Structure 1
């Protein structure tokens, strides 16, 4: 089993909690992306990033000083989004850290596929960014089947706790021998399942924590998740999509 999650836009540097255990697997590709970004003007970068002036200025400075091999933060500590706050890896016990080391993978437009303790530096590059590199029209084409191939070499079950923006960099390229299981968190209203962005991120983080606490390694055991008031809904679920609803038993 491998769990895939999205990164977060907000990143920090933490070189004190615990050291990185290695470098990202696709660093040569990351170096090509870095070169492409450095060749762009500040205005073009801001348009690519779709952000305000302050965020653009910060990330232009980061690009100029970026070192992909020094002063790195373990990936699991570097992201500060809602999902990561609910996962709360900084208070994991050793057994939970060991679990995510084996089972968790973070998708990234810049780094491709990260293990939790790979060393990273703050960057801004979403997977859906229209960055043309190496003759590829965007990052989906740039990464191609690389990320799916890496996952397929490790497991025959991918548990998808990533957003659609990131999961579509993997799912279309997986071989039929690998089961791709998405977990959906929502509420039923008017016969429809409604997903809310913030609530989904909270639930995804909580599920990673729950899986680490319980040492989950079978798809069937995911049905027992009951964090944040969610419960597995057999009526709405399929083999490729486990649906969890608020207040549904």
Structure 2
């Protein structure tokens, strides 16, 4: 498997890899890194294998940094496979956004407006009754934060919100199992929810048209974005997330 190191704590010797397949980050330890020329860094592209530990948690092993002179059979030159850098959410960005929202609220400015058929916020017209319809009323702060994250290609941003289930997708059973469905926010933006059902309970009663609340990590993509980490982190390294459906919390 291939991915990119999104977090690395050099003093503690562990980090997380963001897989290329769009699934949630996977934990790895320095002892699992086969590249010996240097230590891992945020932004490194790596090859790795996934495994389950004694507590049935997914983690990476045999991690090899691409583009480094690896003394292993996994030697790869990643120069021709570089992906564009991912922007991180910053405190300055969030403070600026909150200031902007306050200013807009005072003037009655409408942040969201109807878009044409080229609207990149939808996952496809078959998943929405009217994919080009965006609410003409000002959305709440959470919708605005998510929308601005989409516009600015922000990723790894902890967000909360509420939406309507538009489409229930088949489970993803590759690696960690995920329950997947698409929701539509009041702003009209659509999000893919990837809920880890190896670490949390499945929402068995979920139906299209249901309202659902979420707290998790936003990852940018050109279709509106993905929300994952909607569960507790058994390792205690990541902030816990959750989903709430019909008054019941799943995490």
Larger % of helix: which? 1
Larger % of strand: which? 2
TM-score greater than 0.5 by the shorter chain = no
The structure, 1 or 2, with the larger RCO (C-alpha pairs under 8 Å, 6+ apart) is 1
Name which one, 1 or 2, has greater alpha-carbon Rg. Answer: 2
The TM-score bracket by the shorter chain reads: under 0.3
Q: With the length of structure 2 as denominator, give the TM-score of the two structures.
A: 0.25
Q: With the length of structure 1 as denominator, give the TM-score of the two structures.
A: 0.25
